[in-house]
């Protein structure tokens, strides 16, 4: 009766990355397809013949057929594995919708099964998969409620497959679908495989989100995994193992800058990544206060750091500037000094917008003063 399978979800194949340059966006998009092959490799490694995909296999219902074909082709080539695909809120099972096209494109695929109608299916001897596909972007009720009364042979291993948010778990996912946290107990499920929450997380003794196999945003919920689940019996606690599947790593980091040297800690971390830094995306949230000279140097330092990573972006909304003695000396006295003094006074105001403008004016003044000084020297 022991049954081992891979639990994964939220592939969102076809997702675009509009905030990136075209070349990088294309790479990130391709990585989501490649993740399927990595999942297959993990399944083989772990001895799982079935892969349960808990919704959002595709990013949109309107993806071109070619994208669908590519995904199906990858799965078809893994003939030793059976892929159980569940429609989620991104790719709901509608009459005439995406899954109808999948059937039309894929033909009779023995190893790719689209569970686009709710019901129990015996996927292996004594193992029944209770699939709860979504038929729209939002469901009015709990799509797993029917599992409580779903008939399966006595002693069968019942595995639930669903997509949505778990009640009481907070607003975790994207889908406006609420699933009872105690569904396994109510429905006699040995395991409830969920999708929608892009991070890997255990919700209950028998309830897990696998998360997305390939991260697509800066979140701190441990994306980039699949779960290898081993069920010894219907009553035995599931044995769940996380396996890494991601190519790219997205990380966010808050950096307090009290001097230019503080950015060096980040540089050290990037350097420590070695070659992996080329598949690393980093978002810095800069805060603190620098002198005008330091702020000017920071920009150059960040440009150098960006060259080491796949992608670097930063938010400097909370990073402020203040003219120190050296700055004031460089700016000098006279009219420029007086102007700088007045801008400092404005920058000290509570009004955030006025402060931002004044600080920028101060930085500009610093740059102009330095430029004028260089001009005079030359």
Partner 1 sequence: MKLRALRLKEVGPFSAPVAIEGLSDGLNILVGPNELGKSTLVRALRTLVESLHTSQAEAVRALRPYAGGAPLIEADLEIDGRLWRLRKRYLADRSATLATTDGGEIYRGADAEEHLKRLLAPLLAVTGLKGTGKSAGPAFGLVWVGQRESLDAPIPHDETVGRLQAFVQSQVEDVLGGDRARAVRALVEGDLKKLTGGRGADKPPAGSRRERAIKDLAAAELALAAAQAQAEAERQEIERLATCIAQREALFSPERRGELEAAVEVAEQGLAVAQAAEQQEAAAAARLEAESLKRDAARKALEYLERDMADLAKRHTQAAALDGEIGRLDEAATAARVQIETASEAHEAQRRRLDEGRAHRDAHARLVQAHAVRTRQQALEHRLGLVRQAGQEQARLDAALAALPVTAERVERARSLAGALAVSEGRLSAAAPRVTVTYVPGAGGRINLAGRPLDDGEELRPDTPIRLEILGVGTISVAPGGGSDLADLRHTRDGERKALDDMLARMTVTSLGEAQARLDARRDMEGERERARATVAALAPQGLEALEAEHAALTAEVSQFAGLAPGEPASGSADVLEAAVTAAERDLASRQAACERAREGVRAAEAALNGAREQRQRVGEEILQLEARLGAPEARQARVAELTKALADQVAAHAAAEREHRAVRSQVIDAARRREIEAEHARARAARQGADGRLKELEREINQLEGALGNRRESGRRADLEALTQSVRTLAAQVAGFAQEAAALDLLRRTFEAVERESRDRYLTPIIASARPYLTHIFGDGTLELGAAAEATALVREGRAEPLDVVSMGTREQISILVRLGYARYLAEHGHAAPVVLDDPLVYADDRRIAGMFAALAEAARQHQVLVLTCRERAFADIAGHRLALTPWTEG
State which of positions 76-115 bind partner 1 (CB under 8 A): 94-97
Nearer to partner 1, 19 or 325 (CB): 19
Question: Is 371 among the residues that bind partner 1 (CB under 8 A)?
Answer: yes
Q: How many Cβ atoms sit within 10 Å of the Cβ of residue 304?
A: 10
Regarding 339 and contact with partner 1 (CB under 8 A), the answer is yes
Contacting partner 1 (CB under 8 A), which of 62, 140, 171, 378? 62
Rounded to a whole number of angstroms, the minimum distance from the CB of residue 62 to partner 1 is 5
**Which one of the spans 59-67, 107-115, 161-169, 234-242 is the region binding partner 1 (CB under 8 A)?**
59-67
Residue 337 near partner 1 by CB under 8 A: yes
Nearer to partner 1 by Cβ, of 95 and 170: the residue is 95
User: Could you say whether residue 141 binds partner 1 (CB under 8 A)?
Assistant: no
Stretch that binds partner 1, among 285-293, 301-309, 317-325, 360-368 (CB under 8 A): 360-368
Tell me the C-alpha distance between 281 and 309, whole Å: 7
- What is the per-residue DSSP string for 106-151? H-S-TTEEE--S-EEEEEETTEEEEEE--SSSB-SS-TTGGGGG--
- For residue 378, the minimal CB distance to partner 1 (Å) is 12
Residue 91 or 196: which CB sits closer to partner 1? 91
Q: How many residues bind partner 1 (CB under 8 A)?
A: 44
Q: According to the binding rule CB under 8 A, does residue 283 interact with partner 1? A: no
Helix (H, G, I), strand (E, B) or coil at 39: helix
User: From the CB of 64, what's the least distance to partner 1, in Å?
Assistant: 5
Q: Which helix (DSSP H) or strand (DSSP E) does residue 184 occupy?
A: helix 183-187
Q: How far is the CB of 68 from partner 1 (least distance, A)?
A: 10
Query: What does the block give as tokens for 101?
Result: 């096209």
Q: Which is nearer to partner 1, 189 or 282 (CB)?
A: 282
Task: Find the part of the chain contacting partner 1 (CB under 8 A) among 161-169, 254-262, 267-275, 333-341.
Answer: 333-341
Listed residue (56, 27, 8) closest to 245, CA to CA: 8
Question: Which phi and psi (to 5°) does residue 283 adopt?
Answer: -120, 120
19 binds partner 1 (CB under 8 A): yes
Should residue 217 be labelled a site residue for partner 1 when binding is judged by CB under 8 A? no
Which contacts (CB < 8 Å, 24+ apart) does range 294-303 have?
294/259, 294/260, 295/319, 295/321, 295/363, 296/363, 296/366, 296/367, 297/260, 298/257, 298/260, 298/263, 301/260, 301/263, 301/267, 302/263
Q: Is 25 in the site for partner 1 (CB under 8 A)?
A: yes
- Token readout for 349 is 């105001």
Helix (H, G, I), strand (E, B) or coil at 66: helix
**Residue 358, interface with partner 1 (CB under 8 A)?**
yes
Q: Which of 26, 30, 47, 65 binds partner 1 (CB under 8 A)?
A: 65
71 binds partner 1 (CB under 8 A): no
Q: Which residues contact 151 (CB under 8 A, 6 or more apart)?
A: 120
* Out of 31, 130, 312, 369, the residue judged to bind partner 1 by CB under 8 A: 369
Helix 292-306 to helix 352-377 angle (10° resolution) is 90
| Residue 364 touching partner 1 (CB under 8 A) | yes
Neighbours of 232 (CB within 10 A): 15
CB of 176 to partner 1, least distance (A): 15
N residues, the chain: 378
Whether residue 328 contacts residue 291, with contact meaning beta carbons closer than 8 Å, is answered with: no
Residue closest to 55 by CA, chosen among 9, 13, 22, 104: 9
Please report whether residue 64 would count as binding partner 1 according to CB under 8 A: yes
To partner 1, the closest distance from the beta carbon of 29 in angstroms equals: 10
Q: How many other C-beta atoms can be found within 10 angstroms of the C-beta atom of residue 239? A: 12
Is residue 334 within a helix (H) or strand (E), and if so which, with residue range?
helix 334-347
Residue 46 interacts with partner 1 (CB under 8 A)? Answer: no
Binding region for partner 1 (CB under 8 A): 15-20, 25, 61-65, 94-97, 135-136, 332-339, 342-343, 346, 356-358, 360-361, 363-365, 368-369, 371-373, 375-376
């Amino acid at each position: 009766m022991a049954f081992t399978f891979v639990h994964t979800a939220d592939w969102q194949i076809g997702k675009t990355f509009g905030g990136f340059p075209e070349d990088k966006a294309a790479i990130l998009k391709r990585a989501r397809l490649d993740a399927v092959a990595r999942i297959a490799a993990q399944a083989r490694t772990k001895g799982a013949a079935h892969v349960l995909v808990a919704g959002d296999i595709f990013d949109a219902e309107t993806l071109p057929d070619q994208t669908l074909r590519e995904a199906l082709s990858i799965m078809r080539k893994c003939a030793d594995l059976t892929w159980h695909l569940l429609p989620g809120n991104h790719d709901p099972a509608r009459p005439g919708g995406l899954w109808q096209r999948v059937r039309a494109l894929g033909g009779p695929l023995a190893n790719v099964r689209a569970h686009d109608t709710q019901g129990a299916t015996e996927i292996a001897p004594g193992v029944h998969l209770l699939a709860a596909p979504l038929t729209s972007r939002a469901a009015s009720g709990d799509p797993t409620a029917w599992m409580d009364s779903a008939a399966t042979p006595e002693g069968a291993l019942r595995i639930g497959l669903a997509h949505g948010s778990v009640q009481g778990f907070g607003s975790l996912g994207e889908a406006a679908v609420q699933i009872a946290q105690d569904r396994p107990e109510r429905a006699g499920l040995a395991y409830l495989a969920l999708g929608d929450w892009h991070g890997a997380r255990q919700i209950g003794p028998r309830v897990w989100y696998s998360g997305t196999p390939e991260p697509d945003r800066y979140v701190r919920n441990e994306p980039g995994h699949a779960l290898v689940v081993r069920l010894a019996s219907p009553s035995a606690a599931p044995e769940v193992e996380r396996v890494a599947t991601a190519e790219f790593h997205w990380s966010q980091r808050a950096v307090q800058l009290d001097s230019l040297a503080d950015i060096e800690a980040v540089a050290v971390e990037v350097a420590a990544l070695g070659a992996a830094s080329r598949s690393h995306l980093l978002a810095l949230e800069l805060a603190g206060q620098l002198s005008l000279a330091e702020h000017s140097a920071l920009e150059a330092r960040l440009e150098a750091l960006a060259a080491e990573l796949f992608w670097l972006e930063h938010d400097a909304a909370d990073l402020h500037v203040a003219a120190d003695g050296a700055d004031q000396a460089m700016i000098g006295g006279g009219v420029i000094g007086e102007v700088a003094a007045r801008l400092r006074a404005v920058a000290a105001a509570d009004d955030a917008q006025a402060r931002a403008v004044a600080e920028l004016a101060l930085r500009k003044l610093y740059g102009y003063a330095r430029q004028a000084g260089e001009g005079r020297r030359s």
